[in-house]
Structure 1
Amino acid sequence: MAHDAQHSSSAAMRTRAVTAAAVGTALEWFDFTLYGALAATVLPKLFFPSMDSTSALLASLATFGVGLAARPLGAIICGHLGDKLGRRNLMLGTVTVMGLASMLMGLLPTYDSIGVWAPILLVVLRILQGFALGGESTGAQLMAIEHASADRRGKYSGLLGLCSPLSQIMANGVLLLLASTMSASAFDSYGWRIPFVLSFELVIVGVYIRLKVSETPAFVELRKTEVVHVSSPLRDALRLHWRTVLRWMLFFCGPAAIFYLIVVFSLSYITKTLAIPKQTGFLLLMGANVCAIVGALAGGMLSDRIGRRKALAIGSTATLLMLFVYFQILDTKSFLPMLAAMGFFLGFTQFQSGIQPVAFAEAFPTNVRYSGSALAYTGANLIAGGPMPVLAVWLFSVCHGSPWGVVAVCVAFNVISLIAILTARETLGIDMNRTDSTSAVTGDSNYVSAGIGNGRHT
């Protein structure tokens, strides 16, 4: 009887943990995604009006990249604190910082009102957003994965993977509604501010839900050892697990580059180069993100059946093939083929992102899991994700309107990603409560020499 009650309580906490992680992360991604859509459409003329159209677009997209560049700092600081102090408290802090930065962004005066201070303050708020998301992304993943049972980690991972496309649907849906019901001048004047200001109320909901979740079992076990008291998680992650950090960072460069190519540059390409209305562009992205939700869930669940490595290889191969026909299909300007191309492309990108949380979490022992996972995740976004929209605009201009320069760079990232997957070891079923206690205290690096792990060792 007592055992049944304990089992029921554990199952309820697992459900609560994945719900809190998914809802909070979706709300943070909503704010971050909202900015990405506006950076490609509205913000250039509001915050960089003194530049020509191409330079203004580049400057606006650069502010988007600044947010991504700030993510490693958030990952490093929050990762270190999360490995020392626990996952739960960090998650309350990151969602609050994101909400405040977003609300202030919605109240920010434009260039016409305060001159150069407008883009300066915009960059500062983007840095705060990026810092919060850098700590949030990995922490929420660990909060859910470390609560999950061994046979459902992939499923929980897929549920977390749908946060980004869900936020894309929410953000683009709100923008589509506002753009459809307001005049262009009204939208440019104040309509774009509404989602930023209202998002803070949603963040309060996220904080409330997270207050109901206990600390993860893996970190509770870690507290019983001496490792949490004597180790330096960031130092140990870089010193003892740098191969694992590097491998998974190189893997995620592919999905990160392609993700931002689709959701940021593609919107600019559709609305400016192809002269398709913004409303149609927002609608295409919403449809593609419905496919991305299915892809994230499918990737996570399939990885529970065939393993992380095989499932990731399937997704990476699909996106590699799609790169060679993506822009040709967009150039048809036909809605259904464009929707199918964007849906397939983003679907298989998120197929990999649905596996990423569990693959990263299983790759590291508990005492460096937050730090190591955050370094790999945000490092990939810094190298490939953040620069991609700006790089794509520049390559498109240099190649005189041809997309093949953009395609070549994304193919390179995708090939590197696939190689990293194929050279990794399988981690399905690995013990999540293991710690690097020996190496943290004595400097023994046997765990490192084993690479990512053989999937069964403890």
Structure 2
Amino acid sequence: MSAVKPATTGTAREPRKAALSAWIGSALEYYDFALYSQAAALVFPVVFFPTGDPTTAIISSLATYAVGYVARPIGAVVLGAWGDRRGRKNVLILAMLLMGLSTLLVGVLPTYEQVGILAPILLVVLRLVQGFAVAGELGGAGAMVVEHSPDARRGFFTSFTLQGTQIGSILATGVMLPLAALLSDEAFREWGWRIPFLLSALVILAGYLIRRGVRETPVFETQSATTARRRFPLVELLRAHPWTVVRCVLMTFTNVIGMATLVFGVSFATQEGYGIGFSTSDFLWVTLVANITAALTIPVFGGLSDRFGRRGFMIAGGLGGGLLTIAYLWAIEQRSLVLVFVFVVLVQSVLFQMWNATFATFFQEQFPARVRVTGFAVSQNIGLMLAAFFPSMFTAIAPPGSAGVPLTIGTVTFGICLVAAAAAFLTPETRGRSLEELDAR
């Protein structure tokens, strides 16, 4: 008995270590990824794109932000294969190093005034590396936690990877905006904006130390010998599981809720053309409150999915959040900040998190171990790349000056959520089934 007890204790602790590693790693990676969006809006138009035309500079700067999403499917294929063939721990360390180094280098880039057109070119290259790296984060982290967790608590432990992404976004806002507020405009443009990027040196060190301390999953170790002799994971994925990939891509469209509330909704509330009149600072607080409350609800719904099933939360959260988007946009139209806060918490922090806290576990459980990272990463990142076009579609459907914007955009959002919910309904429930049983399907 004395020889068995330490091993049992160590095994019991491994899910917690894996979840902590995933939580911190996801927070640090999404800090880096979100930090770029802050800088792209606040300072990059002046530092890297001084065209003389402010509108052109802003569009050019935000285009480099979008480039990160273009690189994500490529990163999903390459890093997914890396994780399926070389290990979950291996790909997480690689993704962390790529993200940390690229973000650190953004902080030391020369400006347009110093090196001319080379400055924005280097910025785009580093943004491509960021998008490539982040594509492997959730797939690798989710597989690591799912495969270390007991069958009865996979949803709870895996939900912390999603909570980490929320924390990372909150940290990016919390570091960048005080610097912008405390420093003069000139000091912030010259050197202040670089500080959060240089802090990524700590990301590299912390991420490496945390992730090297988690052992590889037993599931991967068991099947790694045969995986090395199989065809490239993407080829096997598309040949053996094409409809699973399609369903997961469609389920990812539930992210339309966030696009409608925290992307289009912000423009609807603050852009002069729509005539609502909320300030940017008002909606900075709306976004922060939504992210903070979401961070609290994610592990709750992750745990509940272990008791009541994944699929029901995926369907109910998506349909409920899509439907209440109409009420959220209506609250904006009524110019009631109190109602906006109430509905953003209901829509984004409660209903959407039913889906968001559950999807990582649900997607991971759909694919066998030999293609698990690739299956998750490819499905999620293709879905997100396509979903990134939704805000532009909303603006085209309901441009400034349109009547009935809440009903129009809310109805389209609900329709997209219906498609995602149908895909979830057609996907088998996975709660309570062992990974061995799921892999044998």
Calculate the TM-score normalised by the size of structure 2. 0.89
Cα distance in 2 between the residues matched to 1:48 and 1:341: 38
Aligned to 2:355: 352
Determine the structure 2 residue equivalent to 1:290: 292
**Count of aligned positions:** 435
Map Cα deviations across residues 195-225 of structure 1 (whole Å, 9 max, x no partner).
Answer: 111123133111100010111111012135x
Q: Give runs of aligned pairs for residues 291-370 of structure 1, distance below 5 A.
A: 291-347=293-349, 348-370=351-373
Distance 1:239 1:130 in 2: 26
Q: Cα–Cα, structure 1 residues 406 and 321, in superposed 2: closer, same or farther, change >3 Å?
A: closer
Q: Structure 2: which amino acid aligns with 1:6? A: A
User: Partner residue of 1:161?
Assistant: 162
Give the SS at the match of 2:136: helix
The offset of 1:365, in angstroms, is 0.8
- Indicate the residue corresponding to 1:387 in structure 2: 389
Q: CA deviation at 1:260?
A: 4.3
Instruction: Decide whether the 8 Å contact of 1:161 with 1:355 is kept in 2.
Output: no
Counterpart of 1:377, as a letter, is Q
Within 5 Å, give how 1:59-208 maps onto structure 2.
Answer: 59-208=60-209
Residue by residue over 1:403-457, the C-alpha shift from the partner in whole angstroms, topping out at 9 and shown as x without a partner, is 5565455334322211111221111122313686xxxxxxxxxxxxxxxxxxxx7
Q: Which amino acid is 1:154 matched to? A: G
Partner secondary structure for residue 64 of structure 1: helix
What's the CA shift string for 1:358-395, capped at 9, x where partnerless?
101110111111111111111101111x3345555555
- Deviations along 1:242-295, one digit per CA (max 9) or x if unpaired, are 10011011101222x333454455555555446655444333222111121133
CA RMSD across the alignment: 2.6
Indicate which of 421, 431, 435 corresponds to 1:432: 435
Listed as ranges, the gaps of 5+ residues in structure 1 are 437-456
Corresponding position of 1:372: 375
* Corresponding residue SS for 1:324: helix
- What secondary structure sits across from 1:162 in the alignment? helix
SS of the residue corresponding to residue 290 of structure 1 reads: helix
Q: Is the 8 A contact 1:68 1:130 kept in 2?
A: yes
Amino acid at match of 1:322: L
Unmatched segments (≥5 aa) in structure 2: none
Secondary structure at the counterpart of residue 229 of structure 1:
coil
Match of 1:258 in 2: 257
Displacement of 1:31 after TM fit? 0.9
In the alignment, is the contact (CA less than 8 A) between 2:233 and 2:374 conserved in 1?
Answer: yes
C-alpha distance 400-161 of structure 1, shift in aligned 2 (>3 A): same
Moved more, 289-298 or 37-46: 37-46
1:185 to partner: Cα distance: 4.0
Give distance in 1, aligned partners of 2:52 and 2:241. Answer: 46
Deviation at 1:35, TM superposition (A): 1.7
CA distance in 1, matches of 2:35, 2:268: 17
- Determine which of 397, 414, 420 is the counterpart of 1:411: 414
* Percent sequence identity over aligned pairs: 33
Secondary structure class of the residue paired with 1:355: helix
C-alpha distance in structure 2 between counterparts of 1:62 and 1:419, whole Å: 33
Relative to the length of structure 1, the TM-score reads: 0.86
Deviation at 1:232, TM superposition (A): 2.8
Cα separation, partners in 2 of 1:269 and 1:332, compared to 1, 3 Å: same
1:173-252 → structure 2 map (5 Å cutoff): 173-223=174-224, 226-252=226-252
Q: Is the 1:312–1:352 contact (alpha carbons within 8 Å) kept by the matching residues of 2?
A: yes
